Amino acid sequence: MKFTEEHEWLKVEGDLVVVGITEHAAEALGDVVFVDLKDAGLTVAKGDEVAVIESVKAASDILAPLDGEVVEVNPALGDNPALVNEDPMGKAWFFKMKVADLSALDGFMDEDAYKAMIG
C-alpha cells in the first residue's frame, strides 16, 4: 500500500489502483455525513477532484492521485457515509482507477514514510 501527502491510500488490485483515505484523515475529518462521488467513466488528470467528503465539520476534496480513468466508484458510500469513519482503510474505498503505468506508484510514500509524516 502507498500513501499520498493528501492522506489518501493507494492499493494495486489487478491492473487497477484503489483509492481511499487514511484512518488519520478520517479521524481528522470527524463524522462523515455525505460523500459526493463523480460518476465512473471519468477521465482525470492528477489533482482533479473526484469526490467531496462532507463531515459534521467541513467539506474536503478527494483528488485523483494520478492521471487515468475512474472505472468504478464505491456505491456503499452513498448509502452509508459513516463507513468512512468505521472502516476507512477497507470497505470505505472511494474509487478504482486505470492508470497508464502502475510503476508511477513507486513515487509515493510507503507506510513508514507516511507514519513519519503524520508524526
Grid coordinates representing 42 are 471519468
Distance in Å, CB of 103 to another protein, minimum:
34
Cβ proximity to another protein: between 34 and 115 the closer is 34
Counting contacts by CB under 8 A, is residue 33 touching another protein? Answer: yes
Query: Which cell numbers in the block locate residue 119?
Result: 508524526
Contact flag: residue 47 with another protein (CB under 8 A): no
Q: Which residue among 20, 65, 68, 81 contacts another protein (CB under 8 A)? A: 81
For position 118 contacting another protein by CB under 8 A, the verdict is no
What b/e string do you get for 65-84 counting C-beta neighbours within 10 Å, with b at 16 or more? bbbbbbeebbeebeeebebb
User: Which of 12, 45, 59, 118 forms a contact with another protein (CB under 8 A)?
Assistant: 59
Instruction: Kindly give, in sequence order, each residue whose CB lies less than 8 Å from that of residue 41, ignoring residues fewer than 6 positions away.
Output: 69, 70, 71
Query: Is 87 among the residues that bind another protein (CB under 8 A)?
Result: no
Question: Please, what is the end-to-end C-alpha distance for the chain in angstroms?
Answer: 19
Residue 41, class by beta-carbon neighbours within 10 Å (0-12 exposed, 13-18 middle, 19+ buried)? exposed
Q: Which is nearer to another protein, 56 or 116 (CB)?
A: 56
Nearer to another protein, 76 or 104 (CB): 76
Q: Which residues bind another protein (CB under 8 A)?
A: 30-31, 33-34, 36, 52, 54, 56-59, 81
